[in-house]
Amino acid sequence: MQTTNPATNEPLATYEPHSPETVEKILSRADETFRDWRERPIEERESLAASLGEVLRSNAGEYAATMTREMGKPIDQAVAEVEKCADLCNYYAERSAEHLQDERIGAEPGTKTYVSYEPLGPVLSVMPWNYPFWQVFRFAVPALTAGNVGLLKHAPNVLGCANAIEACFEEAGYPAGVFASMQIEADRVADVIADDRIRAVTLTGSTRAGRAVAAASGENLKKTVLELGGSDPFIVLDDAPLDEVVDAAVTARNQNSGQTCIAAKRFLVHESVHEEFVERFGRAAEQLTVGDPTDETTDVGPQARADLLEELDSQVRRSVEAGATVETGGEPLDRGGNFYPPTVLSDVPEDCPAATEELFGPVAAVFPVRSDDEAVEAANDTQFGLGGCVWTADADRGEALAKRITAGNVFVNQVVKSDPRLPFGGVKESGYGSELAGHGIREFTNAKTIWVER
């Protein structure tokens, strides 16, 4: 299992997959640790979450550099990712007991009836490379604070991040076995899911990977939470303030070098401002700096792997062959590493890849729409349902449209983002279940009804 620097395509490190014997030891220790961990007072688990946040902040530069080396994230965005993880820790250090407190429910006179939220046990997390710290902490902090133990199967190109995360939990004072990383290949995941000691599974990744994990989990009756792909609509109404909207559009499409499930991918622009938006959007995208991700002035780094660059390039070429117009960008940069420039496509045919597939890179497809109704229809014309946003000078008008968009997260006059205080998840082929907030911490608990007769 090899990690490679995507900015240079030079090898970084080689990792040996864990043997079946090592995996058995990890599973056994997780099962044993859970019996004690679940009994720890919630205040103690909250205190450890706070300590975890302190460790993250004190080592932010080191963790960010590891991310940048392994998957090419621009260094300032990598630092921001670590800081966001620390904020998540603070949130659950403050709010977990509140979210998990017993819920009293009236039933009959003379009875005590309530719901108790109790941990499930060892939870397997299958995590992606694009946010190699945030995706893991978004699962692990609420799950562990609820009393579960966590096992991580990370993407093979960010195993240095996986090891750093495991060490982070150790440094924060978590008991051995509460959180562990398993270095295994994808074809071994189903066997781990089938193990009786695994009680639940969560995955962030592609719809294809989600189907495989859901099938294996369903066969073994394991609870799952899936956060999958997206093709988020970015709706620009006729009254939207274009100065603000264009800036937001550039960020929404090119953040993390465009490698984001909740990135805006389909820009649905009212025909009265479509031409101006396309021209300004393309010009602004051209101003982004593409280059060395370790340079703080870089806006867009490399694509994380060579095969991902090739797939993105193929999708763009097939879209252009079908009739799409390249306003800017449109082909890989002629330099070492996996660099693809910010790209804007217009005149996009309905059945080409830019319209029907998820483009996981800095490529925006712009479509004209004639009305609010047409914008909603186009927004919902996808197999995905992760996020979306609406831009307008009339917030009430935007909210009315937001309610009609089939997605797990819709923002008005703001780019789509995840926030520890709010639940996050998708519908349709973007997955199911919630992460974050009180909804997320209760996903991996047993909502147990208790009835006490007096």
Residues with catalytic roles: 227, 261
DSSP label of 302: -
**Cα–Cα dist 132/155, whole Å:** 8
d(CA 222, CA 195): 10
Structure tokens at 375: 């914008």
SS3 content of the chain, % helix, strand, coil (to 5): 45, 20, 35
Residue 385, burial from CB neighbour count under 10 angstroms (0-12, 13-18, 19+) = buried
Measured CA to CA, the distance from residue 43 to residue 340 in angstroms comes to 47
**What single string gives the DSSP state of each residue in 279-296?**
HHHHHHHHTS-BS-TTST
Residue 321 neighbours by CB distance under 10 Å: 11
> Cα-flanking dihedrals φ and ψ of residue 376, to 5°?
-65, -45
Residue 253: count of CB within 10 angstroms of its CB: 27
* φ, ψ at 202 (rounded to 5°): -130, 145
Contacts of 105 by beta carbon, 8 Å cutoff, 6+ apart? 113, 114, 115
Instruction: Of 243, 249, 283, give the one whose Cα is nearest residue 390.
Output: 249
CB 226 within 8 A of CB 135: no
Query: How many Cα atoms sit within 13 Å of 353 on the Cβ side?
Result: 15
3-state class (DSSP) for residue 120: coil
* Eight-class DSSP state of 390: E
**Nearest alpha-carbon partner for 17 in 149, 188, 131, 169:** 188
φ, ψ (nearest 5 deg) of residue 394: -110, 100
Query: 47: burial class by Cβ within 10 Å (0-12, 13-18, 19+)?
Result: middle
Q: Residue 204: which of 154, 151, 253 has the closest Cα?
A: 154
